[in-house]
Structure 1
């Protein structure tokens, strides 16, 4: 049903954004990057946190980024990732397919500025086999997102010697 809700979300906004459906799982950043033939950073991972004030927020970061706890606390205060059983109930999307579109519960969406390093990113589309390709700016506009800086520095990808 989650993929259907994303389709309905796009239709309600009269958007013609193709949803990519694959036969292989894209439930992790590594799987998604391999399946789409892109670097891990282009995968826009969507995380759900509960803050100390009991507010649930959605945070979208580049796939190879890690949350910097100090930066996170400066913006949101203390927070914890939602446990998997709560993620689907609150977002309407299964773990591995969570996206900032068509959320079951209206939630504030924040996007880390690290996404702006790319012209195109791939967030999930409500399922563990789905994604969409769009610019970070379009993503922010679609979800009425707010830009924040909560990730640490991104380590350069390792290069392989021949």
Structure 2
């Protein structure tokens, strides 16, 4: 299969990580729901890469199930800061080096702490962005622990 060689893919290859590429048609504002439907997988297994910043403007990455949201209040409590909020798309792009909708936790331009929702590790396979819109890579969640310096958190809130 022909797929893009992004910074994320280079990092995965450097670590000899086991992954399977999945290329699909990107739909503006389609989100994880569109990705899951296109790949015929559960949205819970499609992992969002979200870039937040603290009230002190310190950026961080949160990996979250596609069908859940991040409780900013709980995340702030875990981080022991006053507040956290999602970065603007422009700032997220500048920090990560990826377009919003194509953000991967692997190979970011700026090194940021990575917080991963605990239950992601209960899944046999996850689908996470490969560094380009319309491009996911599937892997065992253990790859996150093997490559990224992560901290496990419990900050999920069900969508809707």
TM-score (norm 1): 0.85
Q: C-alpha deviations, 1:64-98, integer Å up to 9, x for none? A: 11222331121122111010111111101110111
Instruction: Confirm or deny that 1:52 pairs with 2:55.
Output: yes
Of residues 96, 104, 115, the one that matches 1:99 is 104
Segment drifting more, 47-56 vs 70-79:
70-79
Aligned partner of 2:90 among 82, 85, 92: 85
Secondary structure of the residue aligned to 2:33 is helix
Aligned to 1:138: 143
Distance verdict in 2 for CA 1:117–1:16, change over 3 Å: closer
Count the aligned residue pairs.
Answer: 152
Task: Flag as ranges the 4+ runs of structure 1 deviating above 6 A.
Answer: none
Partner of 1:28: 31
Cα distance in 2 for residues equivalent to 1:135 and 1:12: 17
Residues of 1 paired with 2:123 and 2:146: CA distance? 16
* Range with bigger deviation, 6-15 or 40-49: 6-15
Distance 1:141 1:56 in 2: 22
User: Which residue does 1:160 correspond to in 2?
Assistant: none
Question: How much has 1:52 moved relative to structure 2?
Answer: 1.3
Deviation at 1:116, TM superposition (A): 2.6
C-alpha distance after superposition, 1:121-143 (max 9, x if no partner): 10110011111111222223221
The residue number in structure 2 matching 1:147 is 152
| TM-score, with length taken from structure 2 | 0.86
RMSD: 1.9
C-alpha spacing 1:97/1:120, structure 2 compared with 1 (3 Å): same
The 2-side partners of 1:68 and 1:25 are apart by: 27
Given candidates 127, 134, 140, the residue that maps to 2:132 is 127
Q: Which runs of 5+ in 2 are unaligned?
A: none
Cα displacement (A) at 1:3: 4.5
Any unmatched runs of 5+ in structure 1? 156-162
Determine which structure has the larger strand proportion and give its number. 2
2:44 maps to which residue?
A: 41
Distance change >3 Å, CA 118–CA 49, structure 1 → 2: same
